[in-house]
Structure formats: C-alpha cells, structure tokens
Chain A
Amino acid sequence: MPRSKIDLPCHIDFLSILDAQGNLDESLEPDIPDDTLLRIHATMLLGRRFDERLLNLQRQGRIGTFPPITGQEASQVGAVAVLREADWMVPSFRETAAEIWRGRTLESVIFSNNGFNEGAQIPAESHTLPVSIPVGTQMLHAVGIGYGIRYRKKDNVVMTFFGDGATSEGDFHEALNFAGVFEVPVIFVCQNNQWAISVPRKKQTRAETLAQKALAYGLPGIQVDGNDVLAVYAATTEAVERARKGAGATLIECVTYRMSVHTTADDPKRYRTDDEVEEWRKRDPLTRFQKHLTRKNLLSEEKIAAAETDVREKIQAAVDRAEQQMKAFGAPLDMFDHAYAEMPPHLKEQKKFLERELAENREE
C-alpha cells in the first residue's frame, strides 16, 4: 500500500463581524470595553487625518517622501489594541496608526519623514522596534524576541507587521518556520493591502490565501476582513491568548486595501484603475466602524464632528511643535552618534574632519 492520504488541517477560516454597511454579527462580536472602542476609533481617525495632512505637507515640500496608511487603519489598530504595553511590536514601515497607538508621537513621524534621525528616538521603556524598510526582514527579529520571552519565562507576546509582498520574501518563510520550531509567542500580522507597489496580490503567489502559508509550518492561520476592526481585534485576541499561554505563533492575514499611493514617489494610475479604488472605498474601515459605534450609541454626528476637531487640533499642534523643534535639529556632527556603543578612533578622526570642515565653511 504505497499511497495513502495524510490528514492535514486544510482549511482556513475567514472572519468578518462588521460588514461594509456596518451591520454586526452579534454572535461574533468581541467583548471590548466602551472606552477601548472609542480609543480605537480616535486612533483610526487620527491615523487617517494625519495621513492626509502628511500628504499635504509632502506636496508642499515640507516633508520628504512617506508611505501612507489610509485604508489600513482597522488592520493596524484592531491588532495592536489587543497588546499590553510590555508586549513587543516589530513594525515594517506602513504601520503609523499602530505606532501611534503604541505611543509614538506625531512629531517623531514628521521628524523621520523630514530626514531627521531624531524621529527614531524611542523611549527607554518602549518595546516597539523602529520601522524596518527592507521588506520582510523584521519578522525574524520578532522570532528572536519571542525566544527571549520564552527563555525568561515571561507571558508577553510579540506582534510583527508586514505586507502581502513580504510573503514572497525568504525571510517570511524562515520566520514562520523558526516560529513553529521554537514555539515562540509571535503574532504575524499580514496587511494584505493588495498591492506591492505595482504588483498585485495575485502575482505574489498562486495560493488562494496568504493565511494558508502558516499551515505548512505547523502554525494556525486565519484570514480576516482587514477593514473590519472588530474581526481584526477578535482574531488577534485569539492569537494573543494562544501565544500568552505558550501555545505558539499565529499568522493573521488582514484583507485590506492601500487606498493611497505606495509612497509619495509612486503614481498608482500606472497600474490600477480608479474603479478598483472606488470599489474599496465602499468598504472603508473608518466609516464602517463609525456606523457601528453610532448604533451602539457611543458616537453621534456631533461626537464624530467633535472627534474630527480634536484630531485636527492635535495634528496642527504636532505640526507646529515639530516645525519649531526641527529648527534646532540637524547638527551635522550628530551623524556619528550611535554607530557603536563607544566611538572607535577612526570615527573620532572622521568626526573631527567634519568639524574642521564646518569651521572652515563658516570662515569662508
């Protein structure tokens, strides 16, 4: 009998709780305290409006290029909202809303997007790594952190973010594989926003879902409506609980959409239609959540208007503060800081060279 069937867990759940019209499946509604719901909403709204403002600043030449997040607020905030402060987050580069939830200031985002390292200053107690630009490489760091947590017998977890394009990178597969082998408490959150710059999701992989890739590594995977913040929250809660009790990692595929450009240097008209974007606009995560919260009597037209005002004021204040603070930034000699714990002699020499050059430039 040379040929028989091996039974494998060959299905992937798809989870949706709040549909595009804001209708709720009550049987699946996660238990989220009202103040948390409102904080999630406020952060999503802040993420959206901040994105719009950054785009504006970029077009005015007041910041450099940046990767917008519009459309992905639910995938980000719904996931990080489940974490404790002492848990870890390992972002890629398109998780501004999640970073804001974790305490990153709007100013620091503006600093980074203005080419100032000062934007990467992370408070000593923070467990959020800085953004990682090389696609897919950061997931392995989450595995290593997860190993540290396990080794020290703590009950924290690590959440790492990446996109659909990243699932084509070897590091994604190595990370899932290592996570399975070492049973680390890692939540892999894939923001499948359909586009890796100009390459659509279907050209990244022949597989029907990205979530199913977890199965090959012996991990659970789930696909959720990534524009449904309740579904993201519910799936993440399950994954975090599993990780906290030592049952290992999970891959969550959030099906969402990058409503805006890849970065401000990108022109999506070259590769996708306005119709497609309009279709996704109907599934907007923010307005959908607002409908839901309005039905729950947590929001109203007046309260949304007040929240909008509040967010606009916060952003304006942050832009003002940032532009003020940046005037004091950019001392060229600071570029030598943090290369090593202790500056080696050749760098001291190179720093001195620049110092002399600056002095000479001033004299000329």
Chain B
Amino acid sequence: MAKMTMVQALNLALKQEMEKDDRVIVLGEDVGRDGGVFRVTDGLIDQFGEQRVLDTPLAEAGIVGMSIGMAAFGLRPVCEIQFSGFSYQAFHQTENHAARLRWRSQGRFSVPMVLRMPYSGGVRALEHHSESREVYYAHTPGLKMVIPSGPRTARALLVSAIRDPDPVVFYESKALYRAFREEVPEEEETFPIGKSQIVRKGSDITLVSYGSMMRPTLAAGEILYEKDGVDAEVVDLLTLAPLDESLFTESVRKTGRAVIIHEAPLSYGPGAEIVARLVDKSFYYLEAPIARVAGFDIVIPLFSRENHYIPSVQRIVRAARNVLETAA
C-alpha cells in the first residue's frame, strides 16, 4: 500500500475507473492540460487523450448540462466544478435535470454522473472559495451527496460514485487535499454510498461529523479521553444523502449524549437533520440536550478571520464537556 494525499487518492480512483470503463469521461475547467487547479486530474489527459478529458469553456451550467446529456446518452461523466462556490451557476441544471431525469422519464433515462467540487475553508482562499453548502444538494430529491474525510475514503467513495446509477454530488474538502497521507491500496476498493462508519469506538458520548471536520472531531475525542477520561464514539457520515442514521442513532442509544459537528452554517444545517433523527429514534435514551458545533449563519469570513468561524478542536471539546456535565 502506498501512502497518498487525498489529491493522489482521487487521481488514482479516476485513473483506474477510466482504464476499466471507456464510458467514464472527465470534464471541467482546467482539468486537462493543467490537471485541475488542485491537480486531482493530473496526467489523465496524457493517458486518455482529449476525447476523454475535456477542458471545457468556462461555464458551470454548460459543464453540468453537457454532463447530463452525456449521461442520458450512456456515458459516465465525472465533471469538476472548480470550487463549490461556483456551482450555483449550475444549480438549475443539477436540481431541474440531473436530479429528476430518471423520475421525469419514468426510468427510461438516468443520469449516472458525478459532480466533483472542492468545498470548505481553511486554505486562505478568496471569497467564494471557502464555503460549505452541502445542504443544498443533500436537500434535493434525486441527488446523492457524498463527502469523504480523507484519502482512503475519498478514493473508495469516488469509485463507488462513478459506478452509481444516479447523480452523485461529491464534495472534496480543500483543507484535506494535502493535509495528510494515508495508506491507500493499489487494488480496487469501494465504499458503499449511503453508509456511515464508526471511526472511534467509545461509550460515553457520540460525536457525529464528516468531511473537513473529521480530523478536529477525532482530535477532540483524544483530548476528551486523555484529559477527561471520557471515551467518545465518533461517527463519520461519509454520505449526507441518503443519510445512514443506523450507526449514530444506535451509538446515542448507548452513550445517551451527542455532539454534531459541521463547518456548514448552523441553521438548517446537517446537524438539524441529525438531531431530528436522534429525537425520532433515540429520544428515550438521551441523557442531555444534543449540541451542535457549526459554522455561524454568516458568509464565511475572509481568511484573516476564518479560524474563528470554522469549528476548532477546542470548540468541539467545550461543547462535549457541556453535554457531559448535564446530569442524567
């Protein structure tokens, strides 16, 4: 197994799927010669040529709309929106068509496409380059919404997304692209879309998170263990839609306490949905109010202040301690 960054792991997934299946086409702005501004598609044009790796004109609706047509025709487009902050210019294509063509045609046509896009702050970027708007997609019937939390899950989930018969919005945290390396097997590995996983076993409190917030969440779990003697169970959602509630509702039945962590704004954020599921499925096991640690309900500030916006390890630890202090 090679140690890889998330960028390299995503590149491996694309390369291997393109080798395996000539229906897979990569398209987007700067994905060809430049290999993508984050280099996720690096080298693909040399191996697969311009017919399969398309540098498109600079137009998000064009990229997504064209991908929908390709998918309806029978190809497997993997399109890249350079930053999720620009995906709104293609939102009408995503919502009106990618998400609905199967339904609208009563199953005659489908849209097996992947919309890859970088999200999250933490890389000192310009405005529109740092936001987290996964809820727009998770809220849209007909779409699947996937957010890996590191190199290994990124590779496995991207392979699954490419093979999925329905449109998958695939959020890649910019903060994770090169943050760390992980063992990623050369041989094929997939991870089922719609499944979460427990990444830390524990019995005192449940921390639920995904994507860019997994590392601070795990770090908070370690601090709670070392400093407070609290054994946190940590759930990595991996897919936001369809949401796998089985592990976190089960976990909270055991721990009775939960903190949900995401970078997206608090109100109507994924945390609200998770709280609702917990109330629905684990209410009588709760020993304390559920806490949410999230971005504030404002535009994510420019990078001089973004560290005060993005949930920190300390903010998570504090929230967990508050929940733990509530007597049963």
Q: Which residues of A contact B (CB under 8 A)?
A: 88, 90, 117-118, 120-124, 126, 129-130, 132, 134, 137-149, 151, 170-171, 174-175, 177-178, 181-182, 337-342, 344-347
**A156 closest partner in B (C-beta):** B73
Q: Chain B's nearest CB lies how many Å from the CB of A15?
A: 28
Partner-contacting stretch, out of B3-11, B101-109, B217-225: B101-109
**Cross-chain contact A149 with B59 (CB below 8 angstroms):** no
Interface assignment of B288: CB less than 8 Å from any CB of chain A = no
**Cross-chain contact B166 with A340 (CB below 8 angstroms):** yes
**Cross-chain contact B61 with A140 (CB below 8 angstroms):** yes
Q: Chain A's nearest CB lies how many Å from the CB of B169?
A: 14
Interface assignment of B243: CB less than 8 Å from any CB of chain A = yes
Pick the contact of A171: B61, B106, B245 (CB < 8 A): B61
Interface assignment of B62: CB less than 8 Å from any CB of chain A = yes
Q: Which residues of B contact A (CB under 8 A)?
A: 25, 51, 54, 56-57, 59, 61-62, 64-75, 77, 92-93, 96-97, 101-110, 141-142, 144, 165-166, 194, 242-243, 245
- Knowing A122-B109, A132-B97, the reply to whether A143 touches B102 (Cβ < 8 A) is no
**Cross-chain contact B69 with A143 (CB below 8 angstroms):** yes
**Cross-chain contact B97 with A137 (CB below 8 angstroms):** yes
- Knowing A121-B108, A341-B110, A341-B166, the reply to whether A137 touches B93 (Cβ < 8 A) is yes
Q: Inside 8 A of A338's CB, which chain B residues have their CB?
A: 102-103, 105-107
User: How far does the alpha carbon of A90 sit from the alpha carbon of B51 in the complex, in Å?
Assistant: 23
Q: Chain B's nearest CB lies how many Å from the CB of A216?
A: 13
User: How far does the alpha carbon of A13 sit from the alpha carbon of B10 in the complex, in Å?
Assistant: 50
**A134 closest partner in B (C-beta):** B96
**Cross-chain contact B61 with A170 (CB below 8 angstroms):** yes
- 11 more CB-based (< 8 A) A-B contacts, given A117-B106, A120-B105, A337-B106: A122-B109, A123-B108, A132-B96, A134-B92, A134-B97, A141-B97, A144-B67, A339-B102, A341-B110, A345-B194, A346-B243
Q: Inside 8 A of B101's CB, which chain A residues have their CB?
A: 129-130
Pick the contact of A174: B51, B59, B75, B110 (CB < 8 A): B59
User: How far does the alpha carbon of A166 sit from the alpha carbon of B73 in the complex, in Å?
Assistant: 23
User: How far does the alpha carbon of A123 sit from the alpha carbon of B57 in the complex, in Å?
Assistant: 34
User: How far does the alpha carbon of A156 sit from the alpha carbon of B268 in the complex, in Å?
Assistant: 47
Q: Inside 8 A of A124's CB, which chain B residues have their CB?
A: 108
Q: Inside 8 A of A134's CB, which chain B residues have their CB?
A: 92, 96-97
Q: Chain B's nearest CB lies how many Å from the CB of A228?
A: 30
Pick the contact of B242: A138, A140, A170, A344 (CB < 8 A): A344
Pick the contact of A145: B70, B110, B166 (CB < 8 A): B70
- Knowing A181-B57, A345-B242, the reply to whether A151 touches B65 (Cβ < 8 A) is no
Instruction: Pick from A141, A143, A145, A347 the residue with the most CB of B within 10 Å.
Output: A141
Q: Inside 8 A of B73's CB, which chain A residues have their CB?
A: 88, 144-145, 147-149
Q: Inside 8 A of B62's CB, which chain A residues have their CB?
A: 140, 143, 171, 174-175, 177-178
Q: Inside 8 A of B51's CB, which chain A residues have their CB?
A: 151
User: How far does the alpha carbon of A181 sit from the alpha carbon of B32 in the complex, in Å?
Assistant: 15
Q: Inside 8 A of A137's CB, which chain B residues have their CB?
A: 61, 65, 92-93, 96-97
User: How far does the alpha carbon of A346 sit from the alpha carbon of B93 in the complex, in Å?
Assistant: 25
Some 14 contacts from A to B, beta carbons below 8 A apart, are: A90-B69, A117-B106, A137-B61, A141-B69, A141-B72, A145-B72, A147-B73, A148-B73, A151-B75, A178-B62, A338-B106, A340-B165, A341-B110, A346-B245
